[in-house]
Amino acid sequence: MIKESPKLVTKLKHIDIKQHWLREKVEGGEIDIKWISTIEQAADGLTKPLSVQKHNAFLKQLSIQDIVDTIERLERK
């Protein structure tokens, strides 16, 4: 990509269109691109095997809680 010009130098037309569309959306404020570290990505819990610690962090990201104790208390009443 040439920095001074928003034109891509390639022979593949579909890449030109895709890159220009994305650039237009970012410059127009319709899309905000933000880097997120792998630790903060909840999707990793669905795509990778996790250690117990990472699994617990994944559950916390999704606001999933273990409610077994709560259910048992309600059943005793």
pLDDT in single tens digits along all 77 residues of the chain: 455 666 656 665 565 566 678 888 888 999 998 888 877 888 888 888 989 998 999 999 999 988 998 999 999 98
**Cα-Cα-Cα-Cα dihedral sign, residues 21, 23, 28, 30:** positive
d(CA 39, CA 12): 35
Q: 50 exposed, middle or buried (CB, 10 Å; 0-12, 13-18, 19+)?
A: middle
Q: Which two tokens stand for residue 21?
A: 């569309």
Q: What is the pLDDT of residue 28?
A: 92
Do 25 and 51 share a domain, yes or no? no
Q: What is the pLDDT of residue 38?
A: 78
Number of separate domains in the chain: 2
Do 30 and 43 share a domain, yes or no? no
d(CA 57, CA 36): 16
Do 29 and 44 share a domain, yes or no? no
Give the global pTM: 0.47
d(CA 4, CA 29): 20
Do 26 and 49 share a domain, yes or no? no
